[in-house]
Amino acid sequence: MRNIYDYTLEDLESYFLSNGEKKFKAVQVFDWLYKKRVTSFDEMSNIKKDVIEKLKQDFTMNTIKIVERQEDIDVVKYLFELEDSMKVEGVLMKHDYGNSLCVSTEVGCNMGCAFCESGRLKKKRNLSAGEMVMQILAIEKDLSIRISHVVLMGIGEPFDNYENVINFIHIINSGKGIDIGARHITVSTCGIIPKIKEFIKDGNQVNLAISLHASNNKLRNELMPINKVYPLEDLMEILKEYEKETNRRITFEYILLDGINDKEENAIELSKLVKGLNCYINLIPYNETSHIKYKKSSKEQILKFYDTLKKNKVGVTIRREFGSKVMAACGQLRANYEEGK
């Protein structure tokens, strides 16, 4: 049986029509799931008993379990257990504009980025759309809050799980569902070009972020193996197409690693790389871990890098640091739990 949370509104409409029912019942079910937040089909009191029984035969309503929670100022990090006992993470960040959740899309990751804790434990499987949705539901229930922004930047490469990620976006963006605006949803990818092409073709209105982290192919090859398949010049070409087709601004994420990619020459090179694109660069202070050799750039070096980009007329921000008292690096909480068992 499939989990009901895996289904988009359109999927449920098709399900009811195929069973000789009116498709408006899908809206009723969505209302119970995402507005009233019931936890059993029997609570759906305006749906006929025979339909309820059919739903119970065809679907589960199993949810994910919170295994561990760590808190710091304006951040709460969660370790979730899935139905098959696999573990993933979610990170809730409190901003002045609302509550933002960093969602995991896979159990592990196969991209193998040298600086990333998530990829140390290789990918076991994709998450279903419902398992991503449940991260939102579990945290909203646990903290009695509303999540207003979602970023797909947790464990996993979202475009390596494309179909489920798109279904997840449709569920949380639906006005009948969780109702998070498209402009408040961001998908981050390390640069899988065929999927970026598909993303353009699908006409999604959510934000696109590119995990860049290097200013030239030689350095990016060392840090991010995906660059050997989809080098920077090809990535920039497809992003120009994305900009042309969507008229949307692109975010480039750039983690600053001490002595590796944080020099003035890297900033100048980066300025030239993105020249002409409607974009901005989000500079990210590195979260160090005991398993990985890279170190965080100094505040002084981060500011120098920022100033160089500014002087070269590049839009740039420095991401606020979260979680100094928790296992802040993506995948760190899961890895420590798994390796400590």
- Look at residues 60, 84, 100 and tell me which one is the last residue of a structural domain: 60
Residue 161 and residue 272 in one domain: yes
Residue 285's DSSP bridge partners are 256
- Between 168-172, 231-235, 287-291, 316-320, the lowest mean confidence (pLDDT) is in 287-291
CB distance 127 to 104 below 8 Å: yes
How many structural domains does the chain have? 2
Report residue 120's pLDDT band, with 50, 70 and 90 as the boundaries: confident
What is the per-residue burial (b if ≥16 Cβ within 10 Å, else e) of 33-49?
bbeeebeebeebeebee
**What pLDDT is attached to residue 326?**
53
Determine the Cα–Cα distance for residues 250 and 219; give it in Å rounded to an integer: 22
The last residue of a domain, from among 60, 79, 104: 60
pLDDT for res 117: 83
- The neighbour count for residue 58, using CB atoms within 10 Å, is 12
Same domain, 82 and 54: no
Looking at per-residue confidence, does 287 or 161 come out higher?
161
Domain check: are 55 and 80 in the same one? no
**Distance, CA of 217 to CA of 215 (rounded, Å):** 7
Q: Is the pLDDT of residue 230 over 70?
A: yes
Burial readout 170-183 (b: 16 or more C-beta within 10 A, e: otherwise):
bbbbbebbbebeee
Question: Are residue 37 and residue 121 in the same domain, yes or no?
Answer: no
- Report the share of the chain in percent with pLDDT over 90: 88
Structural domain of 52: 2-60
pLDDT at 332 over 70: no
Do residues 27 and 170 both lie within one domain?
no
Q: Which long-range CB contacts under 8 A does 12-17 form with residues at least 24 apart?
A: 15/58
What integer pLDDT is reported at residue 290 of this predicted model? Answer: 74
Amino acid at 256: L
The answer to whether residues 279 and 182 belong to one domain is: yes
Backbone angles phi, psi at 179, to 5 degrees: 65, 50
Which residues, 6 or more positions from 131, have their beta carbon under 8 angstroms from its beta carbon? Answer: 5, 64, 82, 88
Q: How far apart are CA 265 and CA 213, in angstroms?
A: 14
CATH number, position 15: 1.10.150.530
User: Among 95-99, 125-129, 160-164, which is the least confidently predicted range?
Assistant: 95-99
Mean pLDDT (the chain, rounded): 93
Give the integer Cα–Cα distance in Å for 171 and 7. 8
Same domain for 188 and 310: yes
Same domain, residue pair 44 and 148: no
Residue 31 has pLDDT above 70, yes or no: yes
**pLDDT of residue 329 exceeding 70:** no
* Cβ neighbours of residue 183 closer than 8 Å, sequence gap 6 or more: 205, 206, 207
Q: Express each pLDDT in 284-328 by its tens digit.
A: 999 888 778 899 999 999 999 999 999 999 999 999 876 555 555
Residues 34 and 71 occupy one common structural domain: no
Q: What percent of the chain has pLDDT over 70?
A: 94
In this structure, the answer to whether residues 144 and 215 fall within a common structural domain is yes
Residue that wins the pLDDT comparison between 336 and 301: 301
What's 271's domain CATH number?
3.20.20.70
The pLDDT, as a whole number, for residue 121 is 73
317: its two tokens: 């921000």
Given 12, 39, 60, the domain boundary residue is 60
Rounded to whole angstroms, the Cα distance separating 63 from 225 reads 35
| Rounded average pLDDT over 258-265 | 97
36 and 111 co-located in one domain:
no
- So which residues are the catalytic ones? 89, 330
Which pLDDT does position 336 carry in this prediction? 55
Statement to judge: residues 274 and 233 lie in one domain: yes
Taking residues 20-40, report their average pLDDT. 97
Average pLDDT (224-235) is: 98
Quote the pLDDT of residue 56. Answer: 97
